[in-house]
Structures are given as C-alpha cells and as structure tokens.
Amino acid sequence: MPPNLFIEDRPAERRAFARRTLILFVIMAGLVVGLLARMLHLQVWQYEKYRTRSDENRIEVVPVPPARGLIFDRLGNRLVENRPVFSLTLALERVDDLDQLLADLSALIPISTEDLEQFEQRRRSHRRRPEPLVLKATLDEEEIAVLAVNRHRLIGAQIEAQIARHYPYGDLTAHAIGSVRRITAEDMKTLGRVRYRRTNFIGKRGVEKFYERSLHGEVGNKWVETDAYGRHRQVLDFHPPTAGQNISLHLDIRVQIAAAAALGERRGAVVAFDPKSGGILALVSNPSYDPNLFVTGMDPAHYQALTSSRDAPLLNRAVNGLYAPGSTIKPILGLAALTHGVVDWQEEIVDRGAFRLPGQKRIYRDWNWTPTNPGGQGIVNLHRAIYRSSNIFFYNMGVRLQGERMAAFFRQFGYGEVTAVDVAGTSPGVVPDAVWKQGTKGEPWYPGDNVNLSIGQGDLLVSPLQVATAAAVLANRGRRVRPRMLLTSGRPLVEDDPPLPLPPVSGPSADDWERMVDAMEAVVHRGDYGYGQNGTAWYYIGRGIAYRMAGKSGTAQVVEIKQGQKYEESEHDEYSRKHAWFMAFAPADDPEIVVSVLVENGGGGSSVAAPVVRDVMDAYLLPQVAAL
C-alpha cells in the first residue's frame, strides 16, 4: 500500500469543520430569529386577538335567570309568588358514563319518563354549552337527603336551588290567573334562546301567558373562571338579572272565594266585573285544577285523569265554554225590536202558551207549558214579557225583526267577537245569520231559525264572559267597556297597547234603556208589592235583598224535546239536562258590579243560577254581611 494514503491533511479538516460549524450556526441563528419574530407577532401585534381567545377558553359566561314578577289582587293580596325549590342537575363535562349515572340516579329517586325525555331534549339543544342541565325540576326533602348521602358516587350530579312559581290559592284562581308550564322544545323555536337560558317555565294560560314578556324579566350574566375540565373556580364578574314586573289585577280574592263557594261542586262558571272600568272582579270555572302540579310535577296517571275527564277541569268555562244563552238574550232582543220600530212599550199580545208560524204545523211553546196546561202569561207587553220571560211575545218579535237585524244588534253587545283586553284565549262564540249558516252548514235560513234565535236557542253560542259583557252594556245604558284583568303595574308594560275604546250601542233611546232596566228590576223585585205574578227570580233571591238588582234568568236546552212532550229532568242523564243562566247588575240605578252565572246542566236559571249571583253581589256590596 502506498505510504501517502495514511498521511493526515489537518488544514483541510479544519477548513471543513469551520464550514460545517458556520452552516449550523446560521441555521440555529435563523431558527432563533424566526422564533423571536413569531413571539413578537403573537405577543405584540396579535395580542388583543389571542387574549380574547384565551379568555374564551378560560372564562365562561353563565346566564342567571330573573325572578318572575309577582301578581296581586286589587287589595294587595298576593295571588302568585315565587318560592325556592331544589332541582337535580347534571354537569355533563364531569360525567364519564351518562347512562350509568342515570341508572344510578333512577335507582335512588323516582325519575319519570317525561323527566328523561325533557332532559334529552335539553341536552341536544345545549350540546355546546357547559352549563348544568336540569334532570328533575323539583326534589322533596327525602330525595335531597338520599342524593346528599350518595353524592360521592354520583360525580356530575348536583343539587341546585332555584326559584319556582307558587299559587297559594291553588285551584281557586287557576282559571282566573292562568299558570306556567315547563318550556318545551317547541316553545324554544319561538322564544329568544338567550333571554330564556336557564329558564324552565313559561306562562301558558291566562294572565301568566298574556303578560309573559313583562312578568319574565331580563336575564343576567356572571363571568366564571373554569379549569381544563370545565369546572367553575371563581366568579370574576356579575351582572344581576332584572326581575319581572309585579302587577296588580282588578280581581278581588274575597269575591273570587264567594263565587267559588256559591257555585260549589257544580260544573259551571261565574264572571263578575265593574261595569264602569271593565275590571274583572271574579272569574271562576268549575271544576278546576291545581296549577302547582304543573310546577312541582305530577304522575302520568294524574295528568291522564285531568285531560280525559268528561268534566274537563282544564277547560276554562268562563271564557272558552260556549252555550246557548237562553232567555238572557231577551232584554237585548227587546231593545233591537224597539230600535227598528217592530214593537213599542204599549203593544200587547195575548200569550196563551203557544206560537205557530203561518202555514206550519209545528207549535212553539212557552216555558211553563205542560201536557195538561197550555201555560201562557195572559195579556203581555214588553215590560211584562221581560219579568215573566214570555217566550210567545219574543217569538212574535223575532219573526218580525228577522235574523239579520237580530244578529247585527247582538254583535253590538259583544256576542260573536272578542272584546276583552287581556283575557288570554277567549272565544268569540257564534252569532248565526244566513251567510254563516250557508257557509257552515250548507243550508238556507228558515223562519224557524228566527223563532229559535229570539229566545237564545238554535246556533247562537256565547261564553259566560260575553254574557257578563252584555249585562255591563245594559248596566251602562249602552256604553260599552272592554273586560280587563290588569289594574296597575310598577312600570310601563312591554305588551302591546290595549285596543281602542268601543263605540256605544246605537239605536235605543235613553228612555228605552231606563225602561228595560226597570223591567229587569222587576225580574228580581216584583213580588215586594203583592202582585199576582211575580218576577221569575223574586222568590229565589228578591226577598230581603238590601239593594236594587236588575237581572234576567235563562234556561238553555241541551237536547231537543219532541212536539207534545214536556221536559222531564228525571228522564235525562246528568249531561243532557238544561243549562241554568242568570245575569244581573247592582245597584240598578248606579251599577258597581255585573255578574253572569252559568250552571251546566243545572236546570232553572232563577232557582239555580240566581242564588249564586246574589251571594257574589253580597260579597262585593255587603262584605260585612257576606262574612257573617
């Protein structure tokens, strides 16, 4: 081997090493410069951007639901309040096995299928939000104790204190005030998600529904520092919620209690209000329900019983129940006939208890007809026809007046339309005419329709609220008012402005109004003077009354009675018997209260419904007497 191959070239090696060292230095220097430049970019030029991102990862904004506004009656009695309740919530970011946790919880306390379904709905709609989700809205003391003992093995489950609605008068005010119900996924499609975050209930009926926006208030927020697992460490900032507005109603709980007590266990409704302002003093529908059960929860069997009962306790009969008004329509029909010159106060007929249309065989009977006695009221004018409730007199008037004129006049009294300001869910009822009948039933208008309409039968359907509204028009001698619940609130409400005042009833003269009121007074008071034939209600409520009341009874058939047959209550099942009506106002000369009462399948208006009216008026006009 040649010897020159083993000779070292040290200068060449040093030059190679130096080159490699320089290249490595340049690379390292470039990396350091790049790192410094990136740090400068992030820490100086992009500081605000990345600080915000950092805060979003570290700080959670938690909504704080507002306390719902309270509701009071006209005397300051609290009708609706808020109470603390304890709920079971799950912090999903801390739960490793949700199915196992739900199974463990279900083994410890009752959790309904409905609770699980609603929890799943909330979980799907809050998938990206770390806030705890409600599993069970209300826990009793025993359930709280069981969960507290087992909390070491229920990681992610926690008990939270919340404010829930409470109705101290229970079923007594359920239909007057309404109630809240749990928010559903369907509700969230129309609600503001931000405004209703962490809110479990929303007004679904009555005042609670109509004034929802004001009662709910405005949500607050707290800024909470969280750890890497989403757990709350400390509150950094807090903006408190704005509580909902407190409101006062015209409702008088004393009158409400008296109305419910007078109606008793019978199905029906009572409506009372001030004819001057339209303020509703009492609104009772029976049977009723306890609205607290929709807050605290009820078992499926109980809910099924409420929804399937033939007595329909969830139906607000006062505003949604529709019935033929019977003879309560007669004062209005009489004024219509006077307006159109069909009758005057002097005209008389002989009421022999039967009426027949020209060319027809069918006989229309008076209310006191029997197979052995034709009944009848003898010589009758309009005044006597009111206090004795002569069907025959009004059959004659109805045929001459015709259906179109009757229908148009009835609408001026609030029939066939919604006139209430803030009574949620009111029904307009039905005022039939030829156009309505052809469009609804595909049939023409017959002369017999005029006969039926003249005594408040046939297709005419009204609610107890509408009958009270019509009574207020009579009490005010033609001035119309809109029934309303709201009396005052702490600050302007956010709901829409109320509708404009209603125009007065056109047609009757001032003398006609006064004489009609006199005739309605005779319904109650004729009998004080020893006359042979008293007013239809004198025997039942007129004796010993301390004020002057004007009223009108009504009895509405539920099933048709064949020609030549007398109505026998004992031959009909409970739900086929006649409805009993009475409407009235007092004091007659300067009315302070109007009342309408319907007793479903109750029988005679004067004997059954009139005493309820008397008790309600005594409670309002003579509270010291009613309390004895």
Q: What angle do CA 262, 263, 267 make, to 5 degrees?
A: 175
Residues 424-449 as b/e (b if ≥16 CB within 10 A, e otherwise) read bebbbbbbbbbebbeeeeeeebeeeb
Q: Which amino acid is at 566?
A: K
Q: Which residue has the tokens 């197979």?
A: 371
486: three-class secondary structure by DSSP: strand
Two structure tokens written together for 615:
């008790």
Give dist(CA 505, CA 513) in Å, integer: 11
Q: Which residue has the tokens 């009613």?
A: 626
Is 209 within 8 Å of 201 (Cβ atoms)? Answer: no
Is 242 within 8 Å of 217 (Cβ atoms)? Answer: yes
412: three-class secondary structure by DSSP: helix
Give dist(CA 156, CA 144) in Å, integer: 15
Cα–Cα separations (whole angstroms), residue 61 to 129, 133, 235:
10, 15, 10
DSSP single-letter state for residue 576: G
Q: Which residues contact 354 (CB under 8 A, 6 or more apart)?
A: 363, 364, 365, 366, 369, 374, 376, 392
Q: Which residues contact 570 (CB under 8 A, 6 or more apart)?
A: none
Q: Which residue has the tokens 């959790």?
A: 111
DSSP single-letter state for residue 404: H
Q: N- to C-terminal Cα distance for the chain?
A: 140
Q: Which residues contact 486 (CB under 8 A, 6 or more apart)?
A: 207, 211, 247, 248, 249, 250, 421, 422, 493
Q: Which residue has the tokens 């018997």?
A: 577
Give dist(CA 615, CA 593) in Å, integer: 13
Residue 117 neighbours by CB distance under 10 Å? 11
Marked catalytic residue, from 327, 454, 606, 607? 327
Give dist(CA 327, CA 334) in Å, integer: 11
Give dist(CA 126, CA 536) in Å, integer: 64
Tell me if residue 327 is catalytic. Answer: yes
**Helix orientation angle between 330-339 and 391-401, rounded to the nearest 10 degrees:** 40
Catalytic residues: 327
